[in-house]
Chain A
Amino acid sequence: MPDTPEKQPSVEPLALKDPASAALLAFLIPGLGHLYQGRTAKAVLFFVCIMGTFVYGLYLGSGPEVGWGRVVYWSWQPSDKRLYYFCQVGVGLPAMPAIVQSIRARHGREPFGQFMAPPRIENDPNAAPGGITLSELNRQLGRYFELGTIYTAIAGLLNLLAVFDAWAGPFVPHPEQEKEDKEGTQDKKEEEEKEQKDETGP
């Protein structure tokens, strides 16, 4: 009976399917890209962690008088340049209502409720009627305005990590991939040494 080689536990390489589509899906809804790739545990982890942080931030930035989710809004007025939104929008679709609300406010139309609506600019003749001003918002929410802003911004930034993971896989290379890379570099080195020897001659 011929000797059979010892069976090694097979490690299947990570299938990222279409990385671009996965990254896009991961950006739109945290965890969706990983679900598409069949990485369910990670999809659940990213969704719970990122959406949990984002929703808790929205909750912190809410109040009975100001409405829900007032810390996520888009505004680019001389008196209120909302740079935090660049981080918050990293969470994808959940932060997009702010853009719709901002467009409506810019055109002098009343926003759809107060959810993610930009605060009214004081002394602006084109501003939509009603609504709360930024200083009133800060006064009503106090420190929760900052806390909610930080939570939602961190959620957006964390989702960028998740998008990268959906695009390229984990930072630590897969054992099979690492082995292939090592073998590849070893072969390359041997080839280079051989070439050098050939050039210098015997």
Chain B
Amino acid sequence: MNHFLLAALGLEDMWYAVPLVIVVSLVYAATRFEATGLILEHAVRTAGWIVAFMAVVFAVLLLVNWWL
């Protein structure tokens, strides 16, 4: 479903961001904690923040694109 939505928007390349978000979150979390459980917990939170940040930037750019 998501795939079709992205394809409709012409954003199939966004899939390439998924592995990067996972890897960056894991490595960043691993530099903050030593215990595996804490690393995973922090990685999930970091991934959420990254996705939320990207979504906000995407929405702002979309609005700017419509208005200008």
Interface residues of A (CB under 8 A from B): 14, 39, 41-42, 45-46, 49-50, 52-53, 56, 143, 147, 150-151, 154, 158, 161-162, 164-165, 169-172, 174
CB pair A151–B26 under 8 Å, yes or no, is no
Give the chain B neighbours of A45 by CB distance below 8 A.
26-27, 30, 39
- Once bound together, how far apart are the Cα atoms of A39 and B36, in whole Å? 11
Flag the segment in B2-10, B16-24, B49-57 that touches A.
Answer: B16-24
Kindly name the residue among B24, B33, B34, B36 whose own CB sees the greatest number of chain A CB atoms within 10 A.
B34
A165 CA to B34 CA in the complex, in Å? 10
A158 in contact with B24 (CB, 8 Å): yes
- Complex Cα spacing A15 to B11, Å: 46
Residues of B within 8 A of A170 (CB): 30-34
The number of inter-chain residue pairs (CB within 8 angstroms) is: 54
Which secondary structure characterizes the binding site on chain A?
helix
Q: Give the secondary structure class of B's interface.
A: helix
In the bound complex, CA of A151 to CA of B36 (Å): 25
Establish whether residues B34 and A46, one from each chain, have CB atoms under 8 Å apart when the complex forms. Answer: no
A55–chain B nearest beta-carbon distance, Å: 12
Mind listing 17 A-B residue pairs with CB under 8 Å? Answer: A45-B26, A45-B30, A46-B30, A50-B23, A50-B27, A52-B19, A52-B23, A53-B19, A143-B13, A151-B16, A154-B20, A154-B23, A158-B27, A161-B27, A161-B31, A172-B32, A172-B33
Given contacts A56-B19, A151-B20, contact A49 B26 (CB under 8 A): yes
Known: A151-B20, A161-B31. 15 other contacts (CB 8 A): A41-B36, A45-B39, A46-B30, A49-B23, A50-B23, A52-B23, A53-B19, A53-B23, A56-B19, A147-B13, A154-B20, A158-B23, A165-B30, A165-B31, A170-B33
Chain A residues near B58 (CB, 8 Å)? none
The answer on a CB contact under 8 Å between A162 and B23 is no
Tell me whether A162 and B31 are in contact (CB under 8 A).
Answer: yes
Return chain B residues, CB-CB under 8 Å to A52.
19, 23
**Nearest Cβ on chain A to B29's Cβ, whole angstroms:** 9
